[in-house]
Amino acid sequence: MSTLHRASGRTRLGLALSLVTAACWATLPVALKVTLQAVDPLTLTWFRFVVSALLTAAWLGARGQLGGFAGLGRRRWGLLAIAAVMLVGNYVFYLLGVARTSPGNAQLLIQLAPLLMAIGGILVFGERFRAAQWLGLALLAAGLGMFFRDQLVHVDARDHGNGAYLTGSLLVVVAAVVWAVYALAQKQLLVRLGSMQILGVIYVVATLLLWPFAHPTQLLRLDGVQWALLAFCALNTVVAYGAFAEALAHWEASRVSAVIALTPLLCLGVIAAVHSWWPAVLAPEPMSMLGWIGAALVVVGSSTVSLLGQRRAA
């Protein structure tokens, strides 16, 4: 009998939870970019994990699910530790990247993570892709490449020759790689633990790992708007990863990754809205026709992967 995790088959619930995750992650880089003007990346990440740990512990305690870790065994505890370290790395590298590049570009590049997760789902969990879905995945990858190529045209104007934009892009790519490892580790842990139990342990470990590097006194200098943005970033973490973890429990990793790939388009819409309302707070995301074509390919590719696979499965 296989010990690999298998999705519950509740397709509609998995799709809905994936969309919630995409919406949360679309708004997050904009809030992070503004909040980083007042708080350093490590302190911001530490605070997000503190709030996430407290809220998740309260959730589990109210449902009597704080136990269940006895008898996990050395292998699963090791897998849990890997998931925690990888998620911390994702948060830190992503924030360092956002600080050096634009929110739209960061959100685009982080979509390498669900692509890697999709490939991992096929290689590790034996999830199957049909020909049409492989075509969709190829279109999605091509769209991401075209969008980034368009962004590189604007590097000189935004980077002023100091390399920060490209450095930030590289940091986001690293964040995508470690996130894919985290996601696959968590999916396997679902064989033994509930999704919120896994996240609860990860949040506590992450809080302890980042504590020596955080500067909580910075939080005392924040004004009301900055506190509101900080709270949004922290709550966004709980909602997004809670929905993501539950989506993995009900839907295949490859399908979840395809829906999450819509996030960059949602993020571009958020950036345009924020810039139109508060132009001094956030710069617009410059895009040419090549960038828009790439964005359209992302939509077509992700839709092909998820919807055609869903129809065939029915």
* 84-125: pLDDT as tens digits: 889 889 988 998 998 888 887 788 788 777 778 777 877 777
In a domain, 4, yes or no: no
Q: Determine contact, residues 52/237, Cβ cutoff 8 Å.
A: yes
Of these ranges, 101-110, 154-163, 218-227, 305-314, the one predicted with the greatest mean pLDDT is 218-227
In a domain, 235, yes or no: yes
Residue 300 has a pLDDT of 78
In a domain, 106, yes or no: yes
Buried/exposed code over 264-296 (b: 16+ C-beta within 10 A; e: otherwise): bbbbbebbeebbeeeeeebeebebeeebebbbe
User: Does position 14 have pLDDT exceeding 70, yes or no?
Assistant: yes
In a domain, 1, yes or no: no
Q: What is the DSSP string of 171-184?
A: HHHHHHHHHHHHHH
Q: What are the backbone dihedrals phi and psi of residue 194, each rounded to the nearest 5 degrees, phi first?
A: -75, 155
User: Does position 44 have pLDDT exceeding 90, yes or no?
Assistant: yes
Q: 232 is in which domain, residue-wise?
A: 11-313
* Average pLDDT score over residue span 133-154: 79
- Of the two residues 287 and 229, the one the predictor is more confident about is 229
In a domain, 132, yes or no: yes
In a domain, 208, yes or no: yes
pLDDT tens digits for range 254-285: 677 777 777 777 888 888 888 778 776 677 77
Query: pLDDT exceeding 70 applies to what percent of the chain?
Result: 84
CA distances in angstroms from 148 to 106, 112, 248, 265, listed in the order given: 10, 12, 28, 13
In a domain, 171, yes or no: yes
Question: Where does the chain have alpha helices with state H?
Answer: 11-35, 41-62, 73-100, 103-109, 112-125, 131-153, 155-159, 164-189, 195-210, 224-250, 253-260, 263-277, 289-303, 309-313
User: Does position 1 have pLDDT exceeding 50, yes or no?
Assistant: no
Return the number of other C-beta atoms located less than 10 Å from residue 191's C-beta: 12
Tokens of 269: 């819409």
Number of domains in the chain: 1
Q: CA Rg, the chain, in Å?
A: 19
Tokens of 132: 């049409």
3-class secondary structure, 108: helix
pLDDT tier for residue 47 given thresholds of 50, 70 and 90: very high
Residue 314 has a pLDDT of 34
What is d(CA 199, CA 242) in angstroms, rounded to the nearest whole number?
A: 8
| Average pLDDT in the chain | 80
In a domain, 41, yes or no: yes
Residue 51 has a pLDDT of 92
